Each structure stands twice: as structure tokens, then as C-alpha cells.
Structure 1
Amino acid sequence: MKEIRIDLPTVTLRSLTWAPVGGAPDDAPLAVLLHGFPDTALTWRHLGPALAAEGWRVVAPFTRGYAPSGISSDGAGHIAALMDDAVGIHRALGGGPDAALVGHDWGAITANALAAHPDSPFSRVVALAVPPFVSLRSAAMLQALPRQLRNSWYIAFNRLPVLPERTLDRVVPRLWRTWSPGYEASADLPAVLAAIADPAHRRAVVGYYRALTSPFRPPPRYRAWRGAEMQLPRMPILYLHGAQDGCLDPRLAALAAAHLPPGSETGLIDGAGHFLQLEQPDEVNRRVLEFLGSPEGTQDGKPAAPSL
């Protein structure tokens, strides 16, 4: 594992990388791994090496606002800005049409939105813990709604002025305890708190939630991506959800499955909560590797399904 710097037009991202085993790093297909809240690129310490061992060139950025990455010059925390960053990483690293995108939590929101956008450069997408929003529009959602509203208190809290930034030291450990019951997060929490140690980074990270209800559109450079998060994916995706997730009700996975494109796969991961890639890494790695297939574009010896 190495750390690299990627300079994008509005933000500098520090990223962890894993080089493909037995291949030329610059020529191998690219896999971009996006973390969520409250987390860091270290969340991919199991999946990153597993993908590299199969021949992928893996990069996992600390997304905008999470140190050691910088604060964006435009202050945007919109989903469209996160999409633009992912596409910027693809462009900066010379990603090809065979590139894969894997996201968890906010990273999954970004990945789902890019899977729905016709200009996305990624051909294979995996989302963990957050399904495409529009896939949940059904009467069955009403059954999960009361519990989900209780679980989602932090979203409204993070939109408040000032208070979230002042209390993240207490809120973040609480979220990890309730979202992934029984998981020992001692290897994760220090890194998360270090990534949001100063007021500017805290404000940027909480800004993701404030942008959700902002009356202002994203800055002009991001507007081509705007609204994709409310569309269904245009390509098959893999969606995985922890069976004991204390953040998003596990019943949402079944609701999402009925609305995803043909060729998509979904699964509940037993023994895992919200941070399933850390709690059950062997099973998550297996499912992701099977879905993505080899970097050369094959699955089980057959050509992978083309993107739409």
C-alpha cells in the first residue's frame, strides 16, 4: 500500500493505492474505491489488496474534506461534486473503459449516481450499504419507514449549524457502535477522528449533509452530473447490505433488488452491520471479486455483461 497525491481542479486528494500483483501498474485496469461517513480510505484495507491480487490497479481516495485530502476551493459538498471527483480520478490516472467503481455509504451514493449517468467512464459498479434512492420508491417502503426515520436522526442533526462540528468526537464513536453492533472499531476510529481533527475539515464533511437540502445548485462545473442520484442505474450493479445494519434497515436491500437493472445482484451479508467490508471482509471480497470478474473483462470464463 502506498499513498499518492491527485490534483483535481478544485481539490487535492490523497489516496491509498495497491499495485496489481504480477502486472504493470500503469497498464492494469483501474478500480476506484470510495469511502463514506464517518470513515476513511483505510476502510478498504481488506478489499484493496484482494483486488490488486487479481490484477486491478486500486486507488482509494480520502474524499474531499477528509484529511489528509484538502478542502475544496469551492466548498461544494454536493453529490455532483463527489461524482466529478471520481471521474477526475479516472481521468488523472488514465483509467480506461474497463474501470470499476466501488463505494460504501456516501461512496455508494456516488457510485449509484455514476451508474445512472450516461457519461460515466466506469463500466462496473458495486455499492455497499446504500441502495439507489429511486429503487426504494414503493409502498413496501412504508413498512420500514418508522424504524428508518429513527435510525436517520443523524442526517437532520448534521444539517444544524455549528453543533455537529463541535460534537463529532462523541457522535462518531456512537454511530460506529450503533451501526455495526459488536464490531471492534479500535483500528478505525482514531483514523476517522484524525481525518476530521480541525474545524475546516469537519465543516467540509458535515457539508455533505447540508448540501442535500441546500436551495443553491452546485457550482457550474458540476451541474452536468446533477440529479443522477435520483435515477436508476443504466448498468447492472452489485448491491450488498449488512444483515445487522443499524444505519439503514436491512429490508431496504430486498426493496432495491426489485428495481435494479437485469444482471444486477444483491445480497445480505450475515454477521455484518453497516461497515460490512470491515466486519465480514472475506465474504464481501468474494462477492465483489465474483461480480467484477477479472480485469480483462471476463467472469467465470465468459465475457462480462457490457455496460449500457
Structure 2
Amino acid sequence: MTQLSISTGAGVFDAIAAGPPEGRPVLLLHGFPQTGRVWRRQIAALAVHGYRVVAPDQRGYSPGARPPSADDYRFGLLVDDVVAISEQLGWPAFDLVGHDWGGAVAWWTAHAHPGRVRTLTVVSTPHPGALATALRTDEDQRRRSRYMIDWRESPATEERMLADDARELRGFFAGKVPRDSAEAYVRHLSRPGALTAALNWYRSGRPDSAIGAVDVPTLYVWSTQDSAFGPAAARETRRWVDGPYRFETLQGVSHWVPEEAPETLSRLLLEHLRAHGEF
């Protein structure tokens, strides 16, 4: 794998990449509280099969693209980052993969730019419309999502997460993420300004516009032990995809799917890409 610096109008994004430059392009988006490193196993698996894979550290996680205001983390701007990164890479179309917040951005990007997104794979995160429905109708999902409101406090949330040598931040991974990766994420977010930037994703307010159904070929992977997203929103997601749709449930796996079940996720991802055309 190689390190990249991708310069856009919004700043410079750090990224890791692998695979032949002429390979079919795949962009992978991480979530909170991780970085592009979360995709290392999937990057390696795809690169071996000839795909060109890039996983950027998203807005706020890349020091060179870290605006100070929570308003600078609105969904429209996060989607613009995806488009700008793909343009800098010379990719008029690409396969898009996202987990956690990266999954939310992936849903919005596929909706806003269906001509650019060849296929969509989302891990853990239900379609935003499905999540909104579940929040209105399902007490279990409302309970699971309360942390999103709690984390909007500033700077109390940062202070609590980083207290006692980042004990709370480390605790999120609960032994489900390899120790070296968990420590890398903690080091990254312990640097000045980094955790506030990451939490600004939660503090940016509601999206600028409504999102509808997506019509690109979609793979949605949900796990039964996910603490953030329950079965109601996962099942509801089918109603928000008009294109070819595949829903996979991983039994006994937590929220941290890319690192807890890397071989299974890589296999599903490769199957999805192969099912929907070659580059």
C-alpha cells in the first residue's frame, strides 16, 4: 500500500492506496472514530484482484482538510469532498464503499451523483430515510441513537473521551478491533483539534435537503450485534433502493465489521463488484 496526498479545493486529504493504476476504481469511506486504515484488509483483497483502491481520511480526519466550524461538516460538503477526490484521481465513475459515517456519505453521494457511482456498498449504516423512519416508529432505534445527541456537547465530550489516557475512546472498540489499529485511531484523534473535528460531523445539523431512493446496484451489510443500528432500520433500507439490491446479515458480529469480519466482508464486496460489470 502507498500513501497519497489528494489536493482539492477543500484542502489536502491523506489516503492509502493499492492496486494497478489502470484497475477498476474503488473508493472507500471510513467512519467515526477511525481513519482509512479501517479498510486495510479490504484494500489488500481488492488490489490482488486488479482493482485500484483508495481510502482517504475524510474531512476533519485529514489535518490538511480540517475546517474549524461545525457548519463546515454539512452533508453537502462531505459529498462534495467525495466528488472532488474522485476528480483529482481521474475517476469519472467509481465503485463506492462506506462504513458508519462513511456509509451515510456514500448513501448521499449515490443519491446525488448516480452517474458517478457504478455500485454502492454500505456497511452497518442504513439508508438515511430508513433510519429516519425507524427513529419515528421504533423505540429500540431511538434508544440506540441517543449517543448522537449526547456527543453534540462541546468541549465536554472531547474531555470525557480523552480522559484517563483516552479510556472511553479505546472502550468503543471493545476488543473487536485489532489492538494496533485501535491504538492508531486513539493516537490520531488525540492530536490537537482532531477529535473536535471528528465530532463536528455530529454537530453540523440537519442535511440541507431530503434524500430519496438510490437506483445504483447496492449491497447493504448489517450485523446483528451492532449497537448503533437496529433491525428495524436495517429491514426498512430495502424500501429505499430502486436498483438491484442485496442485503446481507452477519450473525454475532458487532458494529466494527471491516476489522471484525474482514474475510467475509471482502468476499461479499468482491461478489458485488463482479456481479455488476467489469471496468
Considering the TM-score relative to the shorter chain, is it more than 0.5?
yes
Deviation at 1:292, TM superposition (A): 1.1
2:245 maps to which of 264, 270, 274: 264
The residue that corresponds to 2:55 in the other structure is: 60
Secondary structure class of the residue paired with 1:171 = helix
User: Is the helix fraction higher in 1 or 2?
Assistant: 2
Gap change, CA 1:139 and 1:159, over 3 Å in 2: closer
Secondary structure class of the residue paired with 2:27 = strand
Percent identity over the alignment? 27
Residue 47, structure 1, aligned to residue 29, structure 2: no
Gap change, CA 1:71 and 1:45, over 3 Å in 2: same
Tell me the alpha carbon deviations over residues 99-120 of structure 1, each in whole angstroms, 9 at most, x when there is no partner.
1110001110011011111465
Residue 109, structure 1, aligned to residue 99, structure 2: no
Whole-angstrom CA distance in 2 between matches of 1:234 and 1:107: 19
Per mean C-alpha deviation after superposition, the further-off stretch among 39-48 and 111-120 is 111-120
Deviation at 1:141, TM superposition (A): 6.8
Residue 208, structure 1, aligned to residue 201, structure 2: yes
Taking structure 1 as the reference length, the TM-score comes to 0.81
The residue that corresponds to 2:228 in the other structure is: 247
Q: Contact 1:40–1:191 at 8 Å: present in 2 too? A: no
Deviation at 1:47, TM superposition (A): 0.5
Whole-angstrom CA distance in 2 between matches of 1:266 and 1:117: 22
The residue that corresponds to 1:175 in the other structure is: 172
Deviation at 1:151, TM superposition (A): 2.1
The residue that corresponds to 1:221 in the other structure is: none
Q: Contact 2:126–2:237 at 8 Å: present in 1 too? A: yes
Deviation at 1:68, TM superposition (A): 5.1
1:186 maps to which of 170, 173, 179: 179
Q: Contact 1:29–1:96 at 8 Å: present in 2 too? A: no
Taking structure 2 as the reference length, the TM-score comes to 0.89
Deviation at 1:152, TM superposition (A): 1.9
Whole-angstrom CA distance in 2 between matches of 1:183 and 1:5: 30
Residue 100, structure 1, aligned to residue 100, structure 2: no
Deviation at 1:204, TM superposition (A): 1.2
Residue 4, structure 1, aligned to residue 4, structure 2: yes
The residue that corresponds to 2:75 in the other structure is: 79
Provide structure 2 residue ranges, at least 5 long, that are not aligned to the other structure.
none
Structure 2: which amino acid aligns with 1:95? W
Structure 2: which amino acid aligns with 1:206? L
Q: Contact 2:130–2:233 at 8 Å: present in 1 too? A: no
User: Is the strand fraction higher in 1 or 2?
Assistant: 2
Gap change, CA 1:157 and 1:29, over 3 Å in 2: same
Deviation at 1:270, TM superposition (A): 2.0
The residue that corresponds to 1:196 in the other structure is: 189
Q: Contact 1:4–1:15 at 8 Å: present in 2 too? A: yes
Gap change, CA 1:170 and 1:67, over 3 Å in 2: farther
